[in-house]
Amino acid sequence: MRPLLVTLTLLAAVLAAAGVAALVVERRLATLAPGGVEIAALHYNPFSGRLALQGVRGRDAAGRELFHAEHVIARLNPLRLLLRPLALNEVRVTEPRLTLRAEPGFDLAELAAGLGAAPAAATSLPVRIEDLVIAGGRIVVEGGGEGGTPLLVRDLDLRLSRLTTAVDQRDVAFAVEMAVYGTAVHVTGQPRGAGYAIRVRARGLDVAGLVRDFPVAALAGLQRGRGEIDAELLLAGGRLLASGYARVADVLMTLPVPGRPRLRAATLAAVVDNFDLTSGAGRITRLDLAAPSLSLPTATAAVTLASLVAPLQSRPDLLLRRVTVTGGTLALEGAGGVRLERVRLTAHAPERRGDGAWIVSAQAGVGADAEVALDGVLTRDLRGLEADARMQRVALAPWRALMGAPVEWDARVSFHGRLQAAVREGEAAVTLAGQAVLADVGAAGRDGFRADRIALGIRRLQWPTTAAVVDRVVMTQLGIDRIVPYETPAGGGVPLGGLLAEIEDAARTTP
């Protein structure tokens, strides 16, 4: 009889200990949320250390639901029940939902400040977690989306090999692998100096979906794109500094400029160094665009292109070191239309240049056998250009139509010389000087002027005034014999406008 009583006594003691342990666990977990934690069912086995929770709900200070999970499984050493922090191992959380509420004016600056304070805040929590696995999680930010709609992250699967909330903030580090936005995202975090460094790596990321949920001004119009990223985010002093590499493929983007044109590109890639995501200031080491395609109405093309480069003119705190464009297409839509194909552009600002000017090289094809090219220096504010210019067999008529001038003359123009361009008070002025050849020249009308070839030595050609002075003119197979009187300008040469007028008059009066 006595052994039975001893056994029953021991069993009662064990059950009482298990009940006390469960009560201690429940009370310790209840302090994890400002408004307390509700647990529908709690089972703890002090022999195996297995802890099972069902229907877990955490509330904020106002009593609103902050966290919900259907099932939580963990292991807890009974010898550590009375120690702080409470140490949980092998934690498995099924279908959790975290609900956050964004205040009006929520932006990246506020997010950076909050994330920067998170590691310090976490040190006061009475829990230490080793090996956390979350399956089917969701994060809801109420009022965080466009127009105040909820911002939702679905199907979040992640694993934290270590999540620690020990008293020493230097021990707050984590590693996460989560399935989100169509791919696996690897995130690690650790303290660095007075800040906190987070490294993000991912491939095949649905960048358009990410931007819809977490708006970034520079990518606000992105409608399609799959990307890869390997970057480090440094949270320090309320700033969110990014350094690393990002690349987006199969891009479809509405540009934030007048007319909202659509840009398509095979890839868009950027390398940044201490770029401040909160203010847009910092250093973009490289920006690459492959096979871009853009169509613009001719009447507004200049305004649209000027709007795209305006941030570089008005932001001295934004430094862009190198830009490359390959295989591009730019279509100017209008009467006749002009299409620049096979566009290539490289522009870089050498570190050794104190004025910040760009070294620029650009080429483009116009039709099957025509091309244009520029090599020169572009001022830091993008308002002045001096370059060596080359043209090969470019048709003149479409460009005259685009500028609103009557198409009275047509020719294939080849040119090699110097080009100077300047923008003052919103108006552009271009000056050319060099050698030009006009082939297959013709004027409109049945009796119009024709010439196989006209070679010009251009002393000065200005646009938009179209005033031109030439050093010499050689015409081949003209069929007209006439002496053309003219008054020599102060700078010498022959006024091209008067010469062409005489040629037209000769063509009309000569059989």
Render pLDDT for 393-437 as a digit per residue (tens, 0 to 9). Answer: 998 877 766 655 555 677 888 999 999 988 877 677 888 899 989
- Tokens representing 90 are 């092998």
Nearest residue to 337 via CA among 371, 303, 297, 300: 297
Report the distance separating Cα 222 and Cα 255, nearest Å. 8
Q: Which of 241-255, 399-413, 479-493 has the lowest mean pLDDT?
A: 479-493
Report the distance separating Cα 347 and Cα 284, nearest Å. 13
| The amino acid at 207 | V
pLDDT at 325: 95
- Tokens representing 51 are 């802890």
CB atoms within 10 A of CB 203: 14
Residue 440 near residue 452 (C-beta atoms within 8 A): yes
pLDDT at 426: 67
The DSSP element (H or E) to which 294 belongs, if any, is strand 293-297
In the block, residue with structure tokens 């647990």: 39
pLDDT at 220: 76
Q: Domain limits of the chain? A: 302-383, 408-511
Higher pLDDT, 130 or 479: 130
Higher pLDDT, 107 or 509: 509
Confidence of residue 324 (pLDDT cuts 50, 70, 90): very high
Residue 201 near residue 185 (C-beta atoms within 8 A): yes
List, in sequence order, every residue forming a beta bridge with 198; answer none if it has no partner: 189, 233
Q: Which of 98-102, 176-180, 240-244, 502-506 has the lowest mean pLDDT?
A: 502-506
Report the distance separating Cα 480 and Cα 182, nearest Å. 73
Half-sphere exposure of residue 190, counting CA atoms within 13 Å on the CB side? 5
Confidence of residue 509 (pLDDT cuts 50, 70, 90): low
Residue 112 confidence (pLDDT) above 50: no
Residue 341 confidence (pLDDT) above 90: yes
User: For the whole prediction, is pTM greater than 0.75?
Assistant: no
Residue 480 confidence (pLDDT) above 50: yes
Residue 297 near residue 259 (C-beta atoms within 8 A): yes
Higher pLDDT, 433 or 333: 433
Contacts of 509 (CB under 8 A, 6+ apart): none
Half-sphere exposure of residue 39, counting CA atoms within 13 Å on the CB side? 22
Report the distance separating Cα 429 and Cα 387, nearest Å. 14
Report the distance separating Cα 191 and Cα 169, nearest Å. 8
Contacts of 147 (CB under 8 A, 6+ apart): none
428-434 contact pairs (CB < 8 A, 24+):
428/302, 428/464, 429/462, 429/463, 429/464, 430/462, 430/463, 430/464, 431/460, 431/461, 431/462, 431/463, 432/389, 432/458, 432/460, 432/461, 432/462, 432/463, 433/458, 433/459, 433/460, 433/461, 434/389, 434/458
List, in sequence order, every residue forming a beta bridge with 458; answer none if it has no partner: 434, 470
Alpha helices (runs of H) in 31-106, residue ranges in sequence order: none
User: Which 3 state secondary structure label does DSSP give 317?
Assistant: coil
Q: What is the pLDDT of residues 444-470, one digit of tens each?
A: 554 566 778 888 888 888 877 666 677
Contacts of 508 (CB under 8 A, 6+ apart): 447
- Whole-angstrom CA distances from 375 to 145, 344, 389, 456 are 45, 12, 7, 22
Q: What is the pLDDT of residues 268-323, one digit of tens each?
A: 999 999 888 777 788 899 999 999 999 988 777 777 887 888 777 777 788 888 99
Q: What is the mean pLDDT of the chain?
A: 76
Report the distance separating Cα 269 and Cα 366, nearest Å. 27
CB atoms within 10 A of CB 394: 20
- Tokens representing 107 are 């932006």
User: Which 3 state secondary structure label does DSSP give 489?
Assistant: coil
**Measured at the alpha carbon of residue 202, what is the angle toward residues 200 and 208, in degrees to the nearest 5?**
105
CB atoms within 10 A of CB 29: 23
Q: What is the pLDDT of residues 120-155, one digit of tens each?
A: 444 445 567 777 788 877 777 777 655 666 766 666
Higher pLDDT, 409 or 54: 54
